[in-house]
Amino acid sequence: MRNVVLIGFMGTGKSEVGKLLAQRLGWTFIDTDRRVEVKERATIAQIFARRGEPYFREVESRVIADVAARRDTVIATGGGAVLRPENMMHLRRHGWIVSLIASADVLQQRLSDAKNRPLLKGDVRGHVSRLLDQRRPLYRDADLLIDVAQATPAKVVEAIITFLGKRERRVLAVRLDSRSYPIYVGDGILPLLPVDLAALKAGGKAALVSHRAVLRSAGSHLRTTLRAWGYDATTVEVPAGEQSKSLTVVSHLLTRLARERFDRSSTIIALGGGVIGDLAGFVAATYMRGIRLIQIPTTLLAMVDSSIGGKTGVNHTGVKNLIGAFYQPSVVVADVRLLGTLPDRELRSGLAEVIKTAVIGDTVLFEYLERHLSAILRRETEPLIEVIARCAAFKARVVESDEREQDERRILNYGHTIGHAVEAASGLGRLTHGEAISIGMALEANIAQRLGSVDPATVERQNGLLSRAGLPVAPRGVNRRALWRALALDKKRFDGVLRAPLLVGIGEVRREQKVPNALLQEVLRGASRARRLRAKPQPAR
């Protein structure tokens, strides 16, 4: 998010509001007047008396130029900082300008005993009126104006955070009547979550469920923010990896919630990738027959897919997501800043789901990926926000039309039908989920081509983008017999015949079609044969 810069006349409470706002956001607070005093080792009154106002303004400008570009900062400026255009230029470049205003009468009353205000010496009332008339147009040139005459600092802070929520987040929605919920996408937006909890009238208890590493980084900051808003936030650590998705871990989480006296007003916050989202979501669905769930995905894969739509579940008897429930979250927060520490392999894994979305229903997104893939791999903020928002919007539309995967939602299984089997056959954890889905997309596109559903050029275009993203398109190291056994257990089999979406063209697939077993075996044999040929040393030429 951009910084928040507080401007306004003396006595409007900029410092008090700024400190409280910074505390609520978990940000740094800087008072430029105090910075000037520290730099000069003198009070502002002493600087004015010894060096004069022009000197003070020069030092103030240097301080503002220094602090304006800092990240996650609330900056309270002196009342006269607006007088220099270069000050406001620096502050606007990286921040929202919030002006705290009040009438002359209110300010005169507040400043009646202003002994340490060098510009108000003598006739306080007259000086306030004169200076306010001079500066009022500059104070009104702001992104947000708040009259502080009757508002407490806490109310002012709430107004600013509400403003940030509207300006800093791209807002999408899954519309399911009484179970509708927003999806927020942005950069550094996680500190705004308490406002969303307040809007939901959530109870005071919240459990952050995640792995140790995440709890120590993003989890620690979020817990501090929640506690600053008065929430009783506790952390619940689970082991990292797919092995966490088990009934044993579910039992542990349910016991912990009961011991902590969580009730139906409490909230579970799933802070992590798809494993955490599936696991914490299933616990939220079953504890007391369902309590509030917030999804905060920390991987690209989870941001564009698993956190949206309400699918929850755990693995059982070696089958992925065999036990689960459809349970929608109350809010999804996709903060791209959380991707900053994501390993490259995990980022590329998430791109498999992004590319899948483009292939099945968004030609504009596919073309965007072809043009901006390098920027996305560099984790540039705007391209990441764009692709996450487009993917989230597409999935939201599909979920709205078919929440429980009876019809339209099955197109989302493209790449997953074979991909889940590839993941299981390779041994859970050897391939990432996205890598397995990429292989699944390539094999299912091959099937579609053999059935005459799609032309070879389209298949090549899809596979080319997957390869550019650093994703595999062949099941190297996957035992074909193990893969066939995994496919035999797939939930999408009907009467012993596998069904899978068939690719038609970029942006279009047919809903699940029957895939003859003979053709499926032929494609798998062909992939294995091609793998062996590539691995075989070629004779010297």
Tell me whether residue 460 is one of the annotated catalytic residues: no
Of 409, 410, 444, 492, the catalytic one is 409
Of 127, 211, 395, 492, the catalytic one is 395
Of 433, 463, 492, 512, the catalytic one is 433
| Cα(447)–Cα(449) distance, integer angstroms | 5
Tell me whether residue 252 is one of the annotated catalytic residues: no
Which helix (H) or strand (E) covers residue 335, if one does? strand 331-335
Tell me whether residue 413 is one of the annotated catalytic residues: yes
- The DSSP bridge partners found for residue 311 are 326
Of 420, 423, 444, 463, the catalytic one is 420
Tell me whether residue 444 is one of the annotated catalytic residues: no
* 307 close to 393: Cβ distance less than 8 angstroms: no
Q: Are strands 144-147 and 181-186 parallel, antiparallel or unpaired?
A: unpaired
Judging by beta carbons within 10 Å of its beta carbon (0-12, 13-18, 19+), is residue 183 exposed, middle or buried?
Answer: buried
- Residues near 424 by Cβ (< 8 Å), separated by ≥ 6? 318, 319, 320, 482, 486
- Count of helices and strands (H, E) across the chain: 22, 17
User: Which DSSP state fits 302?
Assistant: I
Provide the 3-class DSSP secondary structure of residue 236: strand
The candidate with the shortest Cα–Cα distance to 476, out of 529, 421, 418, 428, is 529
Tell me whether residue 405 is one of the annotated catalytic residues: yes
Residue 190 φ/ψ, nearest 5 degrees: -60, -35
Helix axes 433-450, 456-468, angle to 10 degrees: 170
Of 413, 435, 446, 492, the catalytic one is 413
- Residues near 461 by Cβ (< 8 Å), separated by ≥ 6? 506
Of 60, 353, 435, 512, the catalytic one is 353
Q: H helices within 317-411, ranges in order? A: 344-361, 363-377, 381-401
Tell me whether residue 416 is one of the annotated catalytic residues: yes
CA 254, 258, 259, 265 torsion: positive or negative?
Answer: positive
| Cα(484)–Cα(489) distance, integer angstroms | 9
Of 2, 24, 169, 416, the catalytic one is 416
Tell me whether residue 121 is one of the annotated catalytic residues: no
Provide the 3-class DSSP secondary structure of residue 336: helix
- The owner of tokens 């993941």 is 423
Tell me whether residue 420 is one of the annotated catalytic residues: yes
* 395 close to 363: Cβ distance less than 8 angstroms: no
Of 41, 259, 261, 289, the catalytic one is 289
Of 242, 405, 408, 522, the catalytic one is 405
Structure tokens at 526: 């062909």
The candidate with the shortest Cα–Cα distance to 505, out of 465, 539, 456, 467, is 456
Please give the order of strands across the beta sheet that includes 144-147: 28-31, 73-76, 3-8, 95-101, 144-147
| Cα(79)–Cα(155) distance, integer angstroms | 21
| Single-letter amino acid, residue 52 | G
| Cα(512)–Cα(407) distance, integer angstroms | 9
Tell me whether residue 433 is one of the annotated catalytic residues: yes
* 168 close to 186: Cβ distance less than 8 angstroms: yes
Of 110, 127, 311, 492, the catalytic one is 311
The candidate with the shortest Cα–Cα distance to 129, out of 106, 165, 104, is 104
Residue 165 φ/ψ, nearest 5 degrees: -60, -35
Name the residues annotated as catalytic: 289, 311, 353, 395, 405, 409, 413, 416, 420, 433
